[in-house]
Structure 1
Amino acid sequence: MKTIYVKPKDVQRKWYLIDAKGKALGRVACRAASIARGKHRFFYVPYHEVGDYVIIVNAEKASLSGNKSQNKLYYRHSGYPGGLKVENYEKLVTRLPSSPMEKAVRGMLPRGPLGNKLYSNVKIYAGWEHPHQAQQPETLEL
């Protein structure tokens, strides 16, 4: 049996819409990363960008189980000595509503140039409005 090989420029890409309202943050991020990577396709190879575009709406309304909204911490560093900044999920969502979803999806993609390209195919919005109506995205249920 011959291996099927499709060049990235020959791939027909689709657009998918995921509504994160009331859904678990990690499950939405995992599904979005998998689709952006192309793992749902039969000609998937880990070293090419053969995935689809993903739009995530209502990212700020994604849910967390248990006490994670108070206990889950996000770290960043200013680059200066003693410049470590720490904030929990609730404070981060009030400051940057779509940031936890962005960090979750980004963490599930590979590192390096391929991961950067794949992440550019994921569009995340805090509310319901998004500028991609012309692409006629297909709604995904989790």
Structure 2
Amino acid sequence: MDVLSYKTVSANKATAKKEWVVIDAEDQTLGRLASEVAKMIKGKHKTNYTPHIDCGDNVIVINAEKIRLTGKKWNNRVHFRHTGYPGGQRFVTPRQMMEKAPRSVFENAVKGMLPKNRLGRALFGNLHVYAGTEHPHVAQQPKEVKL
């Protein structure tokens, strides 16, 4: 007779059930939506979540240019990067980022919420962000998710 009435299930690459999901970002708040997307990419919403395995879903985000920031964050928030050369600090606001590449604002928000290691870089490949309503992943038959 079994002493335990349950067994711990750990997913691996072969048993992970990865799905394709479409999320509409129109009129959604950036941080709230990015945290939900990061959870889905990592797989934390699944019962067989395993921290060291890529068991999350592939997420397609459409209408990324219609994302919303509260308050004065469009002009007052500053994103920082460094070129690697002396004096190579570069600063940019979300408004400037949106003008140059509309999807980069959302991608940076999600990337900051993923682990900073090999797995995090692999998980980031499961995120597909598009500025408009069209995406080239129709063959994967993604299901629409309302958040």
When the two structures are superposed, what TM-score results if normalisation uses the length of structure 2? 0.92
Q: 1:51 aligns with which of 51, 56, 75?
A: 56
Describe the superposition over 1:44-83 as per-residue Cα deviations: whole angstroms up to 9, x where unpaired.
1111111111001111110000111111111111211111
Pairwise CA distance, 1:28: 1.5
Q: Kindly indicate whether residue 102 of structure 2 is the aligned counterpart of residue 114 of structure 1.
A: no
Q: Secondary structure in 2 aligned to 1:139?
A: strand
Q: For 2:75, give the aligned amino acid.
A: Q
Query: Is 1:5 aligned to 2:5, yes or no?
Result: no
- Provide the C-alpha distance between the structure 2 equivalents of 1:127 and 1:25, rounded to a whole number of angstroms: 16
Task: Kindly name which structure, 1 or 2, has the bigger radius of gyration based on alpha carbons.
Answer: 2
Partner of 1:66: 71
Looking at structure 1, the residues matched to 91 and 76 of structure 2 have their Cα atoms a distance apart, in angstroms, of 11
Q: 1:135 corresponds to which residue?
A: 140
Gaps of 5+ in 2: 1-5
* Equivalent position SS for 1:127: coil
CA distance in 2, matches of 1:87, 1:7: 40
Provide the C-alpha distance between the structure 2 equivalents of 1:81 and 1:60, rounded to a whole number of angstroms: 33
Partner of 2:3: none
Aligned pairs, how many?
142
Distance 1:57 1:78 in 2: 30
| CA RMSD between the two structures | 1.0
TM-score (norm 1): 0.95
User: 4+ runs of 1 displaced by more than 6 Å?
Assistant: none
Instruction: Write out per-residue CA displacement over residues 73-125 of structure 1, whole angstroms, 9 at most, x where no aligned residue.
Output: 11111211111111111111001111010100101111111001111111111
Q: Is 1:87 equivalent to 2:109 in the alignment? A: no
